[in-house]
Structure 1
Amino acid sequence: MRRRSTSRSCLRARLVVALLGALTVAGCTTGPSVRPAVVDNDGGVTTPAAPSAAPVPLPPLTEPQGASLRWTDCDGDTRARLGSPGVPTSLHFTCARMTTQLDAPDDTQHLLARILVLKAGNGPIPLVVVNDVGGEPGSVFAARLAAQLPPAFLQKFSLIGVDRRGTGLSGGVQCVPPEARDALLGADPAQGGLGDVLDAARRAGQQCAIDLDTAQTALDSWRTAGDLDQLRQDLGLPRLNALGRGDGSKVLSEYAVRFPAQVGRMVLDGLPDPGEDRAAVLDAVAAGAESTFDAFSTDCASRGCPLGDAKTALKQVTDRLRAAPVTTPDGVTMSPGTASYAVYLGLADRTRWPALADALNAAKTGDVTALESFADPVLTDAEGRTSRIGGTIATRCNDSATRLPADQIDKVAQGMRTKYPQFGAAIAQELAWCGPWPVRREPLPAAGAPGAPPILVAATASDPVTPEVGTTRAADQMPSAVTITWQGSGHGALTQSPCVTTAAQSFLIDGKIPTNGTLCPA
């Protein structure tokens, strides 16, 4: 069942817990917190190092010196958070908490955020892992990644998963009212404007402004990059070695801008398009989603699955739900829009394509239980888990300066609905999410990080989240970027493409830089 936001008295209780340095999330209810746990601090602001004009070689790997994090066993809790599929019992997990400056623009109290980090494996060199803001929390992602990477990774590295600020157990944002969540994902793929989505976005924006207060504008990729430099220091490292996927890659690219002299060996898997025209960026995302859906349909046919033509099946499901929406036991209203968004979310993880095909096939006859499970982590709160929609909206809106009037949003949505009949409306509705959100007032330095060493950027030909065209455009802005492209489908190439995985292993462990523009077969 869904959990409503905790009260301000609960938040005050969490501030005390943060001051005491507790390693678990405290709560006045069984639901997670609604804003980052914070404490008072008088620390100053780190000044970015000046970039060097000379090319920087790939730095050597060095073991930590003077690490200050206190790790405690979190194996059982992590396995509970992983759910199914689990990971081998040979893997062991420990967790720690670090404090970092909240650094909100209007913060006069010098507050600190409390960030959860998880360590998987016992390799001597820490490799920080940052995931998409809308995906699994970084701690869970790192735990799962540890079971998927070749053994050589964990012989050299211990994976350090970060629940980035506003997600997971780092004060997961829970300010979006439960009754507004379905509508935020509810744009009908076949008809109508985005009036209901805009109304839900206004309700969400108003509640988040109240609940998050000064923390509202502190949930962004730029400040998350600052968290990573604090983590680097707490790990006792002169340079940060890291792996990012999707939005997590964006954080690492901004880390390279802020702290070029502290960049170690980094792999950016699916770097988002840095373009300022959000409508154009989302147009490319929708094109990537349609292309990935085609690949999903081909994959289904090659396995002889009973779904049939995937586009026909999706239309059957949305037509059925348009006539008779279904409310699930979790309280999610499965409308045509929600069902389309659930399928879109399922396309990201290629390993779950068989399950997605089965779920879509079952939904043709009215059983939407399995299909709803793909949207459930985004929409619903559960014991020890915050819905992802709050952290996603907060971060993406703080990262974007695009705010369009309602009539223009409807025009963009209609155009994308026509061009991309399966997912155009689902992707375009993200423009409505940010309408009531404050626009960033602080100018950021230009992208590029000319003082950074070589950074490996992996792209995927058909990616529904970070399409190849956007990843390539982002890499083109980075003088030290070395690109490798998997000609396959899904979100992220690492572990899905043996070619990319081998290249990343050679880059991170052996310091071998692949040829820029390398293509990996599907």
Structure 2
Amino acid sequence: MPRRARRLTLAALVPLILAGCTAGPSTRPPVVENDGPAPSEKTTTPSQAPLPELAEPRGSAIDWSDCGAETQQRLGADGGEAGGSLSYSCARITTTLDAPDLPRRGIKRIAVLKAGTGPVPLVVVNDVDGEPGTLYAAKLAATLPPELLETFSLVGMDRRGTGQSDPARCIPSDVRATLLGHDPAAGLEPVLDAARTAGQQCAINLEDEQGALDSWRAAGDLDELRDQLGVARLNAIGHGEGSNVVALFGARYPGRAGRLVLDGVPDPSADRAAVLDGMAGGAEATLDAFGEQCATDPGCPLGGDVRGDVTALAEQARRSPVPTGRGTALGPGLVLRAVLAGLADRNRWGELAGALAAAKSGDGAKLSAFVEPMLVETEYAAARLDGSLATQCNDTVTRLPADQLAKAAKDLDARHPVFGAVLAQELAWCSPWPSRREPVPQLGAPGAPPILVISTAVDPVTPERGTIRAAERLPSAVRVAWQGTGHGALGSPCVAQATQAFLVNGTVPRDGTLCPA
């Protein structure tokens, strides 16, 4: 289709797209309790630069090569079938390590994947502890509206220290097992000891790279990718914690920011305990929503009390760890971590229900699969915990002494009896880690073009209240609120279509637009 005709067709769709959404504050009761009043919505349109026009690359310096067969293998049977009509190309680019002791020096290799053949690149960044950005982009491309892929090709980037971007390998396997699997009811001292060992081993194995794995420098990698793609402005989607990298890119390089979409921005608060409190509340609200769905699904193998099933399984694993058939077993910590991972991906809720039912009967293999990518290094991929822990600790300044750690864990457990204590362990992960020597970067920048921020009403990873707080720090943010459940909202047809209208047509939605569940 000629480009002018395509633009006219998509423009005609905009009224239909926005008809599925409404504008205005939500009238629903809050689903996640937290201290203090809910953040307020913006009531005025911020002063901002116009949304930049789309432009095709002026000439890319990236040497792409076909990686279709490899990508289909990575996607697996279901994902491969869904993305069978797409083409995939892979490459590596070189960026600057820029370690704190070696500013603007050193080399870091970054893996990238291009999905589709649309003329304008749209970069995709995922959570640092989630699927590598290359794999996430390939899966996302298979689910987005086909019209969007007529304009854009998706370019996934593996965050530094993750995936195929020189992944961090520094935490011994038994230390990972303690960090992720220690019984949350048995105190924090073993987790602190494991965190000390992790910090020491990462200092030895990573050397200068240890302090260079953070979101600020990942934003610099985005600018290097933008330059090598041959575009003056970067168009990008950030998912979950990956939205932080995209937002920081907009703050560092406002004149190079194109059309940016942030799907679930994490809470920017410096109080890590408060952030984890919100995550624990969001996770338990998601667990309840999962239970409600299961109760209405005749095919769900669980009973009517999924919250009770999870807590009973954790207690069962405390008495007798659940075997996986791989020479390992799931204790209560790994049971809860696996459930958290399963709740984040609503597309896997059926799989999670089956895994929980099997684990109740003594077979933990299916449930273990949810947590193994964080825990286990394979022939094809490093364990995700190493790069995730390094990035998380470099991004935060919270370092609590042992007595405050114990109090925070006790408070979180009292407020959120299912997930509070296990998430509180993450406060201990960074306590022995070297303190950040640079100022914590701020998200917002004056003069930036409109940024589309998407929140999800019940999100176990980036709860809506935290995303609202982040949006309030972005002067040019406009928020679309999905009234659904799960981590990220691009799977919602209403959100996907509003995102398409923003990216393709430059239609900026009204701040506070609601998308129904």
The counterpart of 2:126, out of the listed 127, 131, 134, is: 131
One-letter amino acid of the counterpart of residue 499, structure 2:
A
1:86 Cα deviation from its structure 2 partner? 2.4
Task: Determine which of 252, 255, 258 is the counterpart of 1:258.
Answer: 252
| 2:461 is the counterpart of 1:465 | yes
Q: Which residue of 2 aligns with 1:342?
A: 338
Does the CA-based 8 Å contact 1:119-1:159 persist in structure 2?
Answer: yes
User: Residue 488 of structure 1: SS of its match in structure 2?
Assistant: strand
1:359 Cα offset (Å): 0.5
> What residue in structure 2 maps to residue 421 of structure 1?
417
Q: Which residue of 2 aligns with 1:240?
A: 234
Across the aligned residues of Structure 1 and Structure 2, the Cα RMSD in angstroms comes to 1.4
Partner of 1:9: none
What is the deviation of 1:446? 3.5
CA distance in structure 2 between the aligned counterparts of 1:222 and 1:521, rounded to whole angstroms: 34
Structure 2 residue aligned with 1:178: 173
Whole-angstrom distance in 2 between the partners of 1:493 and 1:115: 27
Q: CA deviation at 1:250?
A: 0.1
Q: Which has the higher contact order (CA 8 A, sep 6+)?
A: 2
2:109 is the counterpart of 1:105: no
Give the residue type in structure 1 aligned to 2:78.
Answer: P
| Partner Cα distance (2:171, 2:442) in 1 | 32
Q: 1:328 offset after TM fit, Å?
A: 3.5
CA contact (8 A) 2:323 2:362 kept: no
For the 8 Å contact 1:186–1:197, the answer to whether it is kept is no
Match of 1:408 in 2: 404
Question: Is residue 2:97 matched to residue 1:115?
Answer: no
Deviation string for 1:29-75 (max 9, x for gaps)? xxxxxxxxxxxxxxxxxxxxxxxx96300011000002110100111
Paired amino acid for 1:93? Y
Structure 2 residue aligned with 1:515 = 510
State the partner residue of 2:448.
Answer: 452
Deviations 1:213-243 (A, max 9, x none): 1100000000000000000000000100000
1:36 maps to what in 2?
none
Match of 1:297 in 2: 291
Offset of residue 315 of structure 1: 2.1
Q: 1-side partners of 2:168 and 2:88: how far apart?
A: 25
Aligned equivalent of 1:12: none
Post-superposition offset of 1:448:
1.3
Deviations 1:276-296 (A, max 9, x none): 011111101111001110101
Instruction: Please list the CA deviations of residues 356-415 of structure 1 after superposition, one character each: whole Å capped at 9, or x if unmatched.
Output: 011011111111110000001111111211111001101110000000112211211111
Amino acid at match of 1:91: L
Q: Does 1:377 align with 2:373?
A: yes
Cα distance per residue 1:313-359 (max 9 Å; x no partner): 11221121111124545554411111011001110000000000110
Map 1:39-438 onto structure 2 (within 5 A).
55-87=48-80, 88-107=83-102, 110-189=105-184, 191-304=185-298, 305-308=300-303, 309-326=305-322, 328-330=324-326, 332-438=328-434
Identity of aligned pairs, percent?
Answer: 57
Residues 76-104 of structure 1 deviation map (CA, whole Å, 9 limit, x = unaligned) = 22222222432232112101111111000
- 1:486 counterpart = 2:479: no
Distance (whole Å) between structure 1 residues aligned to residue 401 and residue 60 of structure 2: 49
| AA matched with 1:80 | Q
Given the superposition, is the C-alpha separation of residues 84 and 379 from structure 1 closer, same or farther in structure 2, using an over 3 Å criterion? farther
List alignment gaps of at least 5 residues for structure 2. 1-45
1:239-270 deviations in whole A, cap 9, x for unaligned?
Answer: 00000101110001100110000010011000
Distance 1:274 1:446 in 2: 9
CA distance in 1, matches of 2:322, 2:48: 58
Aligned length: 468
Give how far 1:298 is off.
0.6
What's the TM-score, normalizing by structure 2?
Answer: 0.88
Q: Give 1:17's aligned residue.
A: none
Aligned twin of 2:9: none
